[in-house]
Chain A
Amino acid sequence: MSDFNQSFPLLSFLILAPAAGALLISLIPADRAKLLRTIALVVSLVVFVFSLPLYFGFDSSRTAFQFEEKYEWIPAFQATYHIGVDGLSLLMILLTAFLMPLIFLASWHDIKKSVKGYLISMLLLETGMMGVFASLDLLLFYIFWEAMLIPMYFIIGVWGGPRRVNAALKFFIYTMVGSLLMLVAILFIYFYYGKVTGMLTFDLVQIRDLLFPENYQIWLFLAFGLSFAIKVPMFPFHTWLPDAHVEAPTAGSVILAGVLLKMGTYGFLRFCLPLFPNAALQFTPLVSILALIGIIYGAWVSMVQPDLKKLVAYSSVSHLGFVMLGIFTLTHQGLQGGLLQMVNHGLSTGALFLIVGMIYERRHTRMIEDFGGLARKIPIFTAFFMIVTLSSIGLPGLNGFVGEFLVLVGTFLTNKWYAVIATSGVIFAAVYMLRMFQRVMFGKLEKEENQNLADLSKREIAVLVPVVAMIILIGVWPQPFLNKMEKSVDHLIRTVQYRAERVQQAPALAPVDLADTDLNNQQNDDVKLANKSKPFKSK
């Protein structure tokens, strides 16, 4: 497998193939909708197939980045096209590749207006998402992070519901506001690194060896953190999310919940924690409390939603609160749980949006009160809906349980009260999800319109089966996935602790390399840097 890795730029393929597909589609006349759809589906399937060697070829005993590629890109800024994966990003890339074909299949009949533009946007979005998760260069990361907004903006704004324009604008501007400050922070890091070490670089692998003085860390953490917190979204930056989710077309909601929100939590893992460990430790109580508020608030608001899609949207706020809580425990269990929960939420909330979309296609309403007693009419639908609902609640045996349990264990180890509050969130989740399920599926079938509902078509079953299969697989056998991330999580925790101590002991010290003995197989950038670096002169 490693030979394959060296000879074939696998990651670049995953990033560029969707863009190439988009280019191909743009050359075909718009009236050949079926052909266009098929091409998009095939491209996304090819990307998924090529993402499998990434998973199986990934060596989970190493902490270093794998499948690395590095080319010169903008020499004037020493910015490089540097990509790679580790245990933190691997599953995210797989999740993206896994969801995309399902989305194309799910929106086969759903999207009728300018199909061509829709498919192009979706494929470009996939390129952007892959790029975000694979980038190891700050400038490259930022470009993918921002560029991804454009297709998503169109997907919400053109193919969305009645209030789509506002929702799209809100989504775009919220995200932009956060990321522009991140840009200033990136520039600051770039020149600060240059001042300290005498060489300029955007390369994350090199920059993460630099220790920032604590007061700088605080500002940088805030600048990065704001843009990630908006993306997650953490309470109180969540207000764009319900709008965007409700107005977006089904496929857009799935991608938004499945992948885009994870970019925020991923950003915390990739940048905020390792680069600014002292600030991260200082902000832990604040972030944890905001995460707890998010958990409870999201759950409470979900309870009173009359609209299915809005309910699922607010449940996202609650679930992402769990992820953030887990990450900021900075314990092994919490981080692993948080990471796994990122995947789980992508699967189960993604599936929920798919299911809501399917029923909306049949009835053109999403109001809970318009349904009731559907279980007998559409049994296959009910079965899928049931499994996904239970997964979202966190029933043992399904994926949600594993993630939430790990998060709670991690939280319990660091702060018992947080764990108690978070657990109540699980209970609320059961309340709102089960109540919703009950009101939609059980009871008497009173509405005339619901008498003739059709059960799932073969296409729709094909969409849901893979998701449900993964939900059950992770639920009963999470170990392979946990193994993939274990070393990276370990490494991250040690990085934070080690570096935080260094700063506290001697704040004016030069950057240090991480003296991990098992890091030998990492390329020796760290060592080189340590030799090159000069003592940090205080300003």
Chain B
Amino acid sequence: MVTSQDFYLLSPEIILTLLGFAVLILGLIFPRMYRETLLAIVLIGFAVALLLSTQHWALEPATAFYGMISVDKFTVGFQCLFIIAAALTLLLSMNALEEKYLLYSEYFALIIFATVGMMLMASSAHLLTLFLGLETLSVSLYILAGFRRDDPKALESSFKYFLLGAFASGFLLYGIALIYGSVGSASLTAIAGRLAQPSDATGQDFFTIGVVLMVIGFGFKIALAPFHTWAPDVYQGAPTPISAFMATGSKAAGFAALLRLLLAADIMTEAWWQQLFWVIAVATMTIGNIIALRQDNIKRMLAYSSIAHAGYILIGVIANNETGYAGILFYLLSYTFMNAGAFGVVSYLAKSEQEYVNISEYRGLAYRRPFAAVAMAIFMFSLSGIPPTAGFLAKFYVFSAAVQADYLWLVILGVVNSMISLYYYLGIVVVMFMQAPEGEKMPITPLPAVGVALVIAIFGTLNLGVFPGQWMDKFQTLARSLM
């Protein structure tokens, strides 16, 4: 029976879907509508969805729609994260939308639909819901990545993302099929309860292969090594705010889905899974950081840095304890602020997509655009994990989880990676503050919306870094409910 309770539990997604359609229709009826008006409408919609989602925090974990949807603290935590990421992306997009071909109502609607997809992934209680959410997200992102459609780089970005994404979806579906065959159901509760009824060895093997295939599918979305190769090209070609969105929201959604699967399948207690993830985490961090050292395009550098960060976050998964899961949430939230901020500065400075992408263009920025330079410096310090920023406490959180679980070497490797990453993050700071400006560029006046987004990101980065208490408490409660 579908009751009103079911709709209540799904209300954030429903509201956002309606909002997306409304935006599309508004764009059709009033093609000359001010984009600020539209932005205001969308932000109000996001605020409502955020409010509805937080209403679910206090509820007992519940399922809806015949066990396809589950709403618990985990869902709420991730959904809030996605909405924050999406709202930041929208604010950042106000500069990019200057360009004639960015039809904003469609652009807005696609971001909203992508957000719905992410939220569905976080609230799925069934592998098919999970897949549905992932596809809603992916299809929206394929279009968004190629939004600057007369730029070959954008087309490459979109096409590459689409092809590899399709492969990933294939892996995922194959995995789902195998799991379904082995367990007899694709519901996460059934998967969690599979150990109660013993199955034969072949079934077990199919199950394991199924999970591996699904992990590969999510690995693509999160950009874990060795499935990370798409990220730099796609981030480079996509509009900058969309790169931010992919690096923060979409990555968080991948982690949400991965965690749902791993927690239900309860495999992180097995040694070989731990070892597998150990290797993936170390490889992801190291590859990301080392290749990032050699980048001269800031969006590519941020792409590789974002790969490395996925590796750090994975440490929390491996630790597989309360601190670890709370740490993942804290990390993803911190990362959303600092990374959206870093892409945001690029977006803030650049009038078109060709400007301010080479690191050399940032030479002496501090003397021409001090606000942007200071903001970028804060994000760089945060990304490299230096206190008193959120990035430090985020790393501290997942590292402490790993120490607690006796993964001392993993932590030491993580720390060594942090040292490597220092070099390229500081490189940006050096260029901005310690080199003389090159030529005179006409200062442009960015729209206030982008500045607002940066201020929010700075505030988030510093607030999480200095007064993390209440956030950590929330996430700790969340993690406790998972265990």
Q: What is A's interface to B at a CB cutoff of 8 Å?
A: 72-77, 114, 117, 139, 142-144, 146-147, 149-150, 153-154, 157-158, 164-165, 168-169, 172-173, 176-177, 180-181, 183-184, 187-188, 190-191
Neighbouring A residues of B418 by C-beta, 8 Å: 180
CA distance A171 to B148 in the complex (A): 43
Closest to A145 in B: B387
Question: Is the beta-carbon distance between B434 and A191 smaller than 8 angstroms?
Answer: no
Would you list which residues of chain B between 453 and 474 have a CB under 8 Å from chain A? 468-469, 472-473
Closest to B406 in A: A191
Question: Is the beta-carbon distance between B387 and A188 smaller than 8 angstroms?
Answer: no
Would you list which residues of chain B between 287 and 326 have a CB under 8 Å from chain A? 326
Known: A75-B473, A157-B433, A190-B400. A142 touches B415 (CB 8 A): no
Neighbouring A residues of B419 by C-beta, 8 Å: 173, 176-177, 180
User: For the complex, would chain B's binding face be called helix, strand, loop or mixed by DSSP majority?
Assistant: helix
Closest to A160 in B: B434
| Closest-CB distance, A14 to chain B (whole angstroms) | 18
CA distance A184 to B402 in the complex (A): 10
Specify which of B392, B404, B408, B426 is in contact with A169 (CB 8 Å cutoff): B426
8 A-B Cβ contacts within 8 A?
A73-B469, A76-B326, A114-B366, A143-B392, A146-B386, A169-B430, A176-B386, A176-B422
A74, A75, A142, A177 — most chain B CB neighbours (10 Å): A74
Question: Is the beta-carbon distance between A147 and B408 smaller than 8 angstroms?
Answer: no
Closest to B465 in A: A143
Neighbouring B residues of A176 by C-beta, 8 Å: 386, 419, 422
| Closest-CB distance, A157 to chain B (whole angstroms) | 5
Q: Apart from A76-B476, A180-B416, A181-B412, list 19 A-B contacts with CB within 8 A.
A: A75-B473, A114-B367, A117-B366, A142-B387, A143-B387, A143-B388, A143-B392, A146-B386, A149-B386, A150-B381, A153-B426, A153-B429, A157-B434, A168-B430, A168-B434, A173-B423, A180-B415, A181-B415, A184-B411
Neighbouring A residues of B408 by C-beta, 8 Å: 184, 188
| Closest-CB distance, A533 to chain B (whole angstroms) | 20
Neighbouring A residues of B452 by C-beta, 8 Å: none
Specify which of A76, A150, A157, A190 is in contact with B472 (CB 8 Å cutoff): A76
| Closest-CB distance, A280 to chain B (whole angstroms) | 23
CA distance A530 to B192 in the complex (A): 44
Neighbouring A residues of B416 by C-beta, 8 Å: 180
Known: A150-B381, A187-B403. A164 touches B469 (CB 8 A): no
A114, A117, A143, A180 — most chain B CB neighbours (10 Å): A180
CA distance A248 to B422 in the complex (A): 21
Neighbouring A residues of B411 by C-beta, 8 Å: 184, 187
CA distance A181 to B367 in the complex (A): 35
Query: Is B113 located at the chain interface by the 8 A CB criterion?
Result: no
Closest to B435 in A: A165
Question: Is the beta-carbon distance between B399 and A183 smaller than 8 angstroms?
Answer: yes
| Closest-CB distance, A181 to chain B (whole angstroms) | 7
CA distance A143 to B385 in the complex (A): 11
Question: Is the beta-carbon distance between A74 and B468 smaller than 8 angstroms?
Answer: yes
Neighbouring A residues of B426 by C-beta, 8 Å: 153, 169, 172-173
Query: Is B159 located at the chain interface by the 8 A CB criterion?
Result: no
Question: Is the beta-carbon distance between A146 and B473 smaller than 8 angstroms?
Answer: no
CA distance A117 to B469 in the complex (A): 30
Neighbouring B residues of A142 by C-beta, 8 Å: 387
CA distance A154 to B433 in the complex (A): 8
Query: Is B396 located at the chain interface by the 8 A CB criterion?
Result: yes
Known: A77-B472, A114-B367, A157-B434. A147 touches B388 (CB 8 A): yes
CA distance A324 to B447 in the complex (A): 56
Closest to A172 in B: B426
Known: A75-B469, A172-B426, A183-B396. A147 touches B386 (CB 8 A): yes
**B430-451 interface bits toward A, Cβ cutoff 8 Å, 1 = contact, 0 = none:** 1001110000000000000000
Question: Is the beta-carbon distance between B472 and A75 smaller than 8 angstroms?
Answer: yes
| Closest-CB distance, B393 to chain A (whole angstroms) | 8
| Closest-CB distance, A57 to chain B (whole angstroms) | 29
| Closest-CB distance, A192 to chain B (whole angstroms) | 9
CA distance A366 to B476 in the complex (A): 57
Specify which of A75, A144, A158, A184 is in contact with B433 (CB 8 Å cutoff): A158
Neighbouring B residues of A72 by C-beta, 8 Å: 469
Neighbouring B residues of A147 by C-beta, 8 Å: 386-388
CA distance A188 to B430 in the complex (A): 34
Nearest 3 A/B pairs, CB to CB: A76-B472, A143-B387, A187-B403
Question: Is the beta-carbon distance between A74 and B472 smaller than 8 angstroms?
Answer: yes
Neighbouring B residues of A144 by C-beta, 8 Å: 387
Known: A77-B472, A169-B426, A184-B403. A158 touches B387 (CB 8 A): no
Known: A114-B367, A147-B386, A150-B386. A191 touches B430 (CB 8 A): no
Neighbouring A residues of B415 by C-beta, 8 Å: 180-181, 183-184
A158, A164, A176, A190 — most chain B CB neighbours (10 Å): A176
Question: Is the beta-carbon distance between B430 and A165 smaller than 8 angstroms?
Answer: yes
A117, A142, A184, A191 — most chain B CB neighbours (10 Å): A184
Would you list which residues of chain B between 9 and 36 have a CB under 8 Å from chain A? none
Neighbouring A residues of B476 by C-beta, 8 Å: 76
CA distance A338 to B7 in the complex (A): 72
Neighbouring A residues of B403 by C-beta, 8 Å: 184, 187-188, 190-191
Specify which of A143, A149, A157, A184 is in contact with B399 (CB 8 Å cutoff): A184
Question: Is the beta-carbon distance between A76 and B422 smaller than 8 angstroms?
Answer: no
A75, A114, A183, A188 — most chain B CB neighbours (10 Å): A183
CA distance A165 to B408 in the complex (A): 34
Neighbouring B residues of A181 by C-beta, 8 Å: 412, 415
Closest to B327 in A: A76
Closest to B475 in A: A76
Neighbouring B residues of A157 by C-beta, 8 Å: 430, 433-434
**B376-389 interface bits toward A, Cβ cutoff 8 Å, 1 = contact, 0 = none:** 00000100001110
CA distance A73 to B473 in the complex (A): 11
**B330-360 interface bits toward A, Cβ cutoff 8 Å, 1 = contact, 0 = none:** 0000000000000000000000000000000
B381, B392, B400 — most chain A CB neighbours (10 Å): B400
Question: Is the beta-carbon distance between B326 and A164 smaller than 8 angstroms?
Answer: no
Would you list which residues of chain B between 409 and 427 have a CB under 8 Å from chain A? 411-412, 415-416, 418-419, 422-423, 426
Closest to B404 in A: A191
Question: Is the beta-carbon distance between A187 and B367 smaller than 8 angstroms?
Answer: no
Neighbouring A residues of B366 by C-beta, 8 Å: 114, 117, 158
**B226-239 interface bits toward A, Cβ cutoff 8 Å, 1 = contact, 0 = none:** 00000000000000
| Closest-CB distance, B190 to chain A (whole angstroms) | 34
| Closest-CB distance, B172 to chain A (whole angstroms) | 34
CA distance A154 to B392 in the complex (A): 19
Neighbouring B residues of A187 by C-beta, 8 Å: 396, 399-400, 403, 411
CA distance A323 to B220 in the complex (A): 55
| Closest-CB distance, A186 to chain B (whole angstroms) | 9
Question: Is the beta-carbon distance between B473 and A76 smaller than 8 angstroms?
Answer: yes
Neighbouring B residues of A76 by C-beta, 8 Å: 326, 468-469, 472-473, 475-476
| Closest-CB distance, B383 to chain A (whole angstroms) | 13
Neighbouring A residues of B469 by C-beta, 8 Å: 72-76
Closest to A187 in B: B403
Closest to B399 in A: A187
B416, B430, B468, B472 — most chain A CB neighbours (10 Å): B430
Neighbouring B residues of A191 by C-beta, 8 Å: 400, 403-404
Neighbouring A residues of B423 by C-beta, 8 Å: 173
CA distance A494 to B244 in the complex (A): 57
Specify which of B370, B412, B473 is in contact with A184 (CB 8 Å cutoff): B412
CA distance A199 to B412 in the complex (A): 25
Neighbouring A residues of B435 by C-beta, 8 Å: 165
Neighbouring B residues of A73 by C-beta, 8 Å: 469
| Closest-CB distance, A30 to chain B (whole angstroms) | 8
| Closest-CB distance, A239 to chain B (whole angstroms) | 17
Neighbouring A residues of B433 by C-beta, 8 Å: 154, 157-158
Known: A158-B433, A181-B415. A77 touches B400 (CB 8 A): yes
| Closest-CB distance, A137 to chain B (whole angstroms) | 13
